């Protein structure tokens, strides 16, 4: 069982990294959250019943762990939520306008609640509303409603005219 778990996690560890990067601002915090998510996945692995895709289950465990950690850390004095680090573009050419847009988007996403961050992360991963609903445990209709509200919030935070 351990070898199977390690193999599956190795193949899908990008999911954990994405969740960690949206909920943590420092490398140290990302490593801590990564370890916490791995521990929760291992603890929960025996109860995985193959009723959904493994990656769907993995997202759900990772996001629930991150949201719980995010809420816990937010209550601690001296925690100001997420800080935005500089974004490095994957493109060879430097585009200052694109970098500014990414900076504004990251700053706006940092202002969202835990579940809103989860939904926007999954949306940006091109997940369908049906899969977002399954991962987050809310109805597909509510995902649509939340997504609409999130889009409005992001536009407001980024000062984008509609």
Can you give the CATH number for the domain in which 45 is found? Answer: 1.10.1740.10
| Final residue before a domain boundary, out of 66, 82, 98 | 82
> Are residues 110 and 67 part of one domain?
no
Q: How many domains does the chain have?
A: 2
pLDDT on residue 77: 45
What is the pLDDT, as a whole number, of residue 25?
A: 79
Confidence of residue 110 (pLDDT cuts 50, 70, 90): confident
Tell if the pTM clears 0.85, that is, is over it.
Answer: no
Please check whether residue 33 is in contact with residue 66, taking contact to mean a CB–CB distance below 8 angstroms: yes
- What pLDDT is attached to residue 88? 41
HEC-encoded secondary structure of 37-56 = HHHHHHHHHHHCCCCCCHHH
pLDDT band at 93 (very low <50, low <70, confident <90, very high): low
H or E element: which one contains 124?
A: helix 114-124
Q: How many CB atoms lie within 10 A of CB 146?
A: 21
Query: How far is residue 145's CA from residue 147's CA, in Å, rounded to a whole number?
Result: 5
Q: Among 82, 99, 125, identify where a domain stops.
A: 82
**Shared-domain flag, residues 73 and 113:** no
Shared domain for 56 and 4, answered yes or no, is yes
pLDDT of the residue at 31: 92
In this prediction, residues 28-43 reach a mean pLDDT of 93
Angle, alpha carbons 23-108-21 (nearest 5°): 20
């Amino acid at each position: 069982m351990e070898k199977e778990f390690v193999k599956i996690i190795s193949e899908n560890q990008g999911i954990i990294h994405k969740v960690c990067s949206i909920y943590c601002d420092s490398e140290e915090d990302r490593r801590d959250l990564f370890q916490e998510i791995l521990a929760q996945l291992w603890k929960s692995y025996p109860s995985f019943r193959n009723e959904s895709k493994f990656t769907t289950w993995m997202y759900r465990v990772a996001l629930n762990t991150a949201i719980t950690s995010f809420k816990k850390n937010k209550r601690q004095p001296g925690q100001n939520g997420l800080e935005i680090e500089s974004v490095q573009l994957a493109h060879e050419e430097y585009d200052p306008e694109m970098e500014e847009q990414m900076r504004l988007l990251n700053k706006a996403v940092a202002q969202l609640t835990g579940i809103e961050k989860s939904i926007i992360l999954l949306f940006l991963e091109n997940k369908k509303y049906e899969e977002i609903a399954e991962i987050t445990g809310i109805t597909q209709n509510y995902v649509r409603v939340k997504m609409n509200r999130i889009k409005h919030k992001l536009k407001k935070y980024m000062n984008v005219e509609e």
